Every structure is written in C-alpha cells, then in structure tokens.
Structure 1
Amino acid sequence: MDGHRAPMGRRNALGAGAGALAAALAAGCARSDGAGGAGGPAAVTRPPGTSSATTASGTPGPTVTAAVTPSPAASRAAAPAPRAFPGLPFRIAHGPRDRPRVALTFDGRGDPDLARAALARCEQAGAHVTVLVVGAWLADHPGLARRILDGGHEIGNHTEHHLDLASLDERAAYEEIAACARRLRRLTGSIGAWFRPSPTAYASPLLQRLAQRAGYPHVLGCDVESLDHAATRVATVTRKVAGELRNGSVVELSLGRPVTVDALPLLLAEIGRRGLRAVTATELLGRPAADVTRTAR
C-alpha cells in the first residue's frame, strides 16, 4: 500500500480473465457514448441566483451556489467519519493484496439520473462502493447524499468545484476542500470518509497538509484508472480495468457518464468471475462492513 500504481506488465498475469472479457465485448457489448459531447467531462449545472466568487489572488473564480438547507430525509443519512489507518501512507492507492477484495470509487458528478442508475447496478450485483462527491454537484442534487448512503455505500470529498487544485494558491485550494467538507457535514452529519483531490488523485505535499487541516487523515488514490472520462466505448473502459484489476485494487470511475453505466454490468461480472468482492474503500482497508455501511433512519 505504498501509493505506487500497478505496472502495465501485470496484464500478462491476468490474460485469461481479460481475454474472456474481450471475447464478450467482441460479441457486441461495445457501444458509443452517443452524440452531443457526452464523451467529454460532465458539466456541473448551477441553479439560477448563483454568484461569482473571487480567489485569493483576485482573479474571477467559480460560480458559487448559496448554502443548501438539507431536506429532513437527507439530514437523516449518517456518513462515517474519516478514519486513520496507522502504518499506512498518507496517500493510499490500494488495499491488502492477500484478500480477494477491490474498491470501486466514483467521482460524484455528472447526470444525476445516470448516477442513480450506476448505484442501482452496483447494488444489483451486491457491490458497495465509495463516491467522492463534488460539492457543487451535491448542492444541485442534495438528495443524492441520502441515496448513496442508503444504498450501503460511503461518501467522501472530491472538492467543491472540481478545479485543478495544483493551479490554485494555498488559501483557495484549502477552501475547495473545506467548502465540500462543510456541505457534506450539513447533509450527512460528517465530512465524509475520504478526500480525493481534483482533477487527479495525486496529492502534492501542500495538498496533503491542507487535507489534514480539513480533517482527512488520508488521501484516497487509486492503482487502476478507468480513464472513462475520456472514453467513448464500453470496450475501452472494461479492457483497461480488467487488464489491471487484482486483489486490493482501488478503481477510479465516473458516476454520471453513459459509458461507465453501460460498462458496469461487465465489470461487476468480471469481478465476480475472478472471485473478488467489491467493497467500500474503508472496508477494503479493514473496517467491518457493518460499521461502514450503516445509515440512521
């Protein structure tokens, strides 16, 4: 669990599994995202009445929505608090390699209907996942906090506006982390189980310090990147993940994109075929499932 990405050479050791999946895809499972620019990153829509913010450097910043008052249903959801894992590095890229478990982790943004469809497909396969939400997206769709938790999943912080944190000054970068943490606390009672920087899972020493200041003892990285944010075909996503997946893998996916939703049944079937179990990132690292997935009702 040293935070290093699995080398591509490991695909040879998984040839049989990847080959079986490729055969299924060759039978007609590949499809495109569709027209209208769906292949690009999903946009975060903002409701009327929002205002423009200004960064610490005085340059125009992202549009900021007004504070959201959670509905009674959303406020009942109980999110687990961040947990420190002694002996592990600050940036955790994978779990134990000696247990047949993997963690599917999703960037929480994009089409909310597709997000619900992705969660439903995971639940149909008995998979529990980790969703790192963008705060502005959750502001537009606050009920999804409850939906994630009630599905037995866990929720975390992927910054407020999904900006490139490395391009911001220290004050603005910290506010991106802290603003999402505040939103999660209002909606779920906790700042969320994990933090993942945007737009990538890499955390510089400065971002590590800022995340710790915001209350996150670890950054959740990954060792398998699906690259679904740029993909237009299901086969591209499934072959990339299947070629690198192994015990302890943390897989990075997008929640609200068509290609990801279409790829999930094949990915979940491949996980089951290999005798693996999809669990939350917290459970992957050793916390009992009952403690991670409970919700207050």
Structure 2
Amino acid sequence: MPSYPDRRTALRAGAAVAAGALTAACGTPAAEPPAKAAKAAEAAEAAKATKAARPAAAPAPAPRAFPGQPAQIDHGPRDRPRVALTFHGHGDPATALSVLAEAEKAGARLTVLAVGEWLDAHPDLARRILRGGHELGNHTQRHLDINTMPEAEAYAEITACAQRLRRLTGSIGTWFRPSRTQQATPLVRKLAARAGYPHVLSYDVDSLDFTSPGAAAVIRTVTGTIRPGSVVSLHFGYADTVDAMPPLLEELARRGLRAVTTTELLTP
C-alpha cells in the first residue's frame, strides 16, 4: 500500500511551492545577461550623445529699427496690398488657438502682443504662436493703464514682460504695444526704446471686438475702415473674434489684401 504524506506535511510543501512562485512573479528580476546590459548601456549613451548634439531652437526674432518710420507706428506703406492683423494676447487660450488655426487655414500671419501674466499662465502659447509663422511682442506685464504710471513702474511693466518673452523664446519680442491706450505718451515711448524696442506699435483700425458686438459688427467695423498698410487692433479671448475671422479673411482676399506680420508689412 503506498504511503502518503500526512495533511500537515502536504500543506507545508504546497506553501513552499506557492512562495517560490510568488518570488518568481513579484521578486527582484533576474539580472540581464552581461552582453544585453552592455548593449542597453551603449544605446543609452548614443541617445544621450544625439540629444547633446541636437541644436537648440533658434531664438525668436528681436526688435528691429525701420529707418524713416516714426517712434510710434500707426500703419505701414499705403502703396502695397498688405495689412497687419495685430492681437492683444490675453484671455481664454482656447480662443487664441482657434484664431491661430483660422488664420493659418487662410495663409495669414498675425502679430500677437502678449500680456506677461498671460504668458505666465500659458507659457506653451508663446512657442505655438511662433511655430505658426506669426510674430510675438510685448503688451506689458499686467495690462494696466501704462500712460498714467510713474516712470519706474511703467518701465517695470515693459521689462517684466520682456523678460518673460526672453525666457520663453530667446528674444524680447519684435514689438511693444502700450496697454489700455492707442497712443503712448512721449515718456512711454522713451521707456520702450530704453527697454530695447525702437518703435511703439499702435494701429489705425480698431475692431472694437472687445465690446462683444457680434461677429458681423466686427467684420463691418474692420472692412469699413481698412486699407492697404493698415494695422488692425483685435483681441484673443472673445468668441466674436473667432467667428469673424473666416469671413474677414475671405473679404481681405477678395480685395487683394494679404494679412502679414507687422515686420513684413514694413519691410520693403
């Protein structure tokens, strides 16, 4: 008659088998064979070398002087079929992305004057704007009434936004536009030049989109006053502006006007 282990012995044996299986499943994995480990280390070193050799992204364009243009620019040459659509960069980033997408569908290039606090909250938008072929500039750090500020505070508003642009893009941006005003005072123009901006960018067409008048009204306002060389003031953050973009760009094309960056507008 065959002999069988008693119940206690059997349970002990089963527990040992289970513990061995658990150790195999959850314990420290076996060391890789030396050849495989060496190959993995070699691949990691190669990847690191490739990354180190990859050139850094080129910095964004810097401000430039346009001889013959005033310290404060309201519009470009009237004898070429170009216009500049300039956007105050603030508000819901979703509307900014929608405006950029509509512009890019139509082959339009925009100028975005960003508020520093907006860049702090949405830093990825700086590179997104540049990747789309648009240009990026300075619209002060907090979007306060810069013309009424003491000199030191006004200068800090300009330079704080410039520092954020430099950190995010490698440049202080191509343009400076004063906040809460169409025309900068002589003092603000002087401070902008001290901060590195040869010109203050104003505009000759105000879309009034920030009043939320409806897309049709935005289109009427812009198309009723725009002409070759115009610089148009528009805003991110408003649904009416997003809705107005496709028909507005279609109307510009129908008139033979091309939407370009402000730098392109002023370049011969």
Aligned to 2:226: 245
Which one-letter code corresponds to 2:267 in the other structure?
G
Residue by residue over 1:30-87, the C-alpha shift from the partner in whole angstroms, topping out at 9 and shown as x without a partner, is xxxxxxxxxxxxxxxxxxxxxxxxxxxxxxxxxxxxxxxxxxxxx8363110010011
Q: Tell whether the 8 Å contact from 1:77 to 1:145 is kept in structure 2 after alignment.
A: no
Q: Tell whether the 8 Å contact from 2:147 to 2:181 is kept in structure 1 after alignment.
A: no
CA distance in 1, matches of 2:241, 2:218: 8
CA distance in 1, matches of 2:95, 2:202: 24
Aligned to 1:156: 137
CA distance in 2, matches of 1:201, 1:150: 28
1:281 pairs with 2:268? no
Q: Tell whether the 8 Å contact from 1:77 to 1:150 is kept in structure 2 after alignment.
A: no
Aligned to 1:120: 101
How far did residue 201 of structure 1 move?
Answer: 2.6
Which one-letter code corresponds to 2:253 in the other structure?
G
How far did residue 139 of structure 1 move?
Answer: 0.5
TM-score by length of 1: 0.70
Moved more, 191-200 or 228-237: 228-237
When residues 266 and 77 of structure 1 are mapped into structure 2, their CA distance, relative to the original with a 3 A threshold, is farther
How far did residue 129 of structure 1 move?
Answer: 0.6
Aligned to 1:86: 67
Residue by residue over 1:216-274, the C-alpha shift from the partner in whole angstroms, topping out at 9 and shown as x without a partner, is 00001101000111123112111000000110010000022111001111110111010
CA distance in 1, matches of 2:130, 2:77: 25
Structure whose alpha-carbon radius of gyration is higher: 2
Q: Which runs of 4+ in 1 moved over 3 A?
A: none
Q: Where in structure 1 are there 5+ consecutive unaligned residues? A: 1-74, 288-297
Aligned to 2:200: 219
How far did residue 199 of structure 1 move?
Answer: 0.9
CA distance in 2, matches of 1:258, 1:247: 27
Which one-letter code corresponds to 2:266 in the other structure?
L
TM-score by length of 2: 0.78
Larger relative contact order, structure 1 or 2 (CA cutoff 8 Å, min sep 6): 1
Superposed counterparts of 1:118-267, under 5 Å: 118-267=99-248
> Paired residues, what number?
213
When residues 141 and 77 of structure 1 are mapped into structure 2, their CA distance, relative to the original with a 3 A threshold, is farther
CA distance in 2, matches of 1:181, 1:118: 24
Q: Where in structure 2 are there 5+ consecutive unaligned residues? A: 1-55
Residue by residue over 1:166-193, the C-alpha shift from the partner in whole angstroms, topping out at 9 and shown as x without a partner, is 2211111110000000000000000000
Aligned to 2:22: none
How far did residue 151 of structure 1 move?
Answer: 0.1
Q: Tell whether the 8 Å contact from 2:140 to 2:157 is kept in structure 1 after alignment.
A: yes
Q: Tell whether the 8 Å contact from 1:102 to 1:250 is kept in structure 2 after alignment.
A: yes
